Amino acid sequence: MDLLTDHLKEAMKIAMKSGDKARLGVIRLILSAIKQVEVDERITLDNERAILVLDKMLKQRRESIRQFSDAGRTDLVAIEEAEIVVILEFLPQPLTVSEIDEIVNEAVIASGAESVKDMGKVMGLLKVKMQGRADMSVVSAKIKAALTE
């Protein structure tokens, strides 16, 4: 199995050789975040856990973009957006809107959820399948919409 960390290290070497400092910086941030989890938990991350780290980084940047936009700091928004582009390169292929809808509907049926109170059951089923492949806030909204119909 090809490890995501190996892919990241190879991309880091390429960025070093090409002199792409911005890309190199983001890749180093990713590797550092993965290493921090490995050291804290005394484990070697598999692809699934590494994707969770990347997903968390993506979520942080999206939140930063929202805050910087509200503050009118377009210079900082541009930096965060550039980092998102690099992070997305290492995540699995994103799901399309129709794929998300289909998976949400299947999970609602499989979990037997009947109302918004059962949202946790559905989210529990979907989190593993969709982590790193879809914005979980969008998925959450789709679950809520499916359960209130």
CA distance 76 to 60: 14
For residues 79 and 75, give the distance between their C-alpha atoms in angstroms, rounded to a whole number. 7
Looking at the domain covering 97-148, what would its CATH class be? mainly alpha
How is residue 117 annotated by DSSP? G
pLDDT band at residue 2, thresholds of 50, 70 and 90? low
Classify domain 4-89 at the CATH topology level: Hypothetical Protein Yqey; Chain: A; domain1 (1.10.1510)
**pLDDT given at position 122:** 84
pLDDT tens per residue, range 83-136: 999 999 998 888 888 888 888 888 888 888 787 888 888 888 888 778 778 888
What would the pLDDT profile of 30-83 be if each residue is shown by its tens digit?
999 999 999 999 999 888 889 889 989 999 999 999 999 999 999 999 999 999
Question: How high is the pLDDT of residue 52?
Answer: 87
Residues 6+ apart with CB under 8 A from 49: 37
Task: Indicate the domain borders of the chain.
Answer: 4-89, 97-148
What distance in Å separates the CA atoms of residue 25 and residue 115, rounded to the nearest whole number? 45
pTM for this model (two decimals): 0.75
3-class DSSP state of 93: coil
Has residue 1 got a pLDDT over 50? Answer: no
Long-range CB pairs of 103-112, under 8 A, 24+ apart, other chains included: 103/129, 103/130, 104/139, 104/142, 104/143, 104/146, 105/146, 107/143, 108/143, 108/146, 108/147
3-class state of residue 81 by DSSP: helix
Residue 147: helix, strand or coil by DSSP? helix
pLDDT at residue 41 in the model: 93
More confident residue, 101 or 26: 26
What is the predicted pLDDT for the residue at 95? 85
Q: How far apart are CA 33 and CA 97, in angstroms?
A: 29
Q: Could you tell me what percentage of the chain is helix, strand and coil, using 3-state DSSP and rounding each to the nearest 5?
A: 80, 0, 20
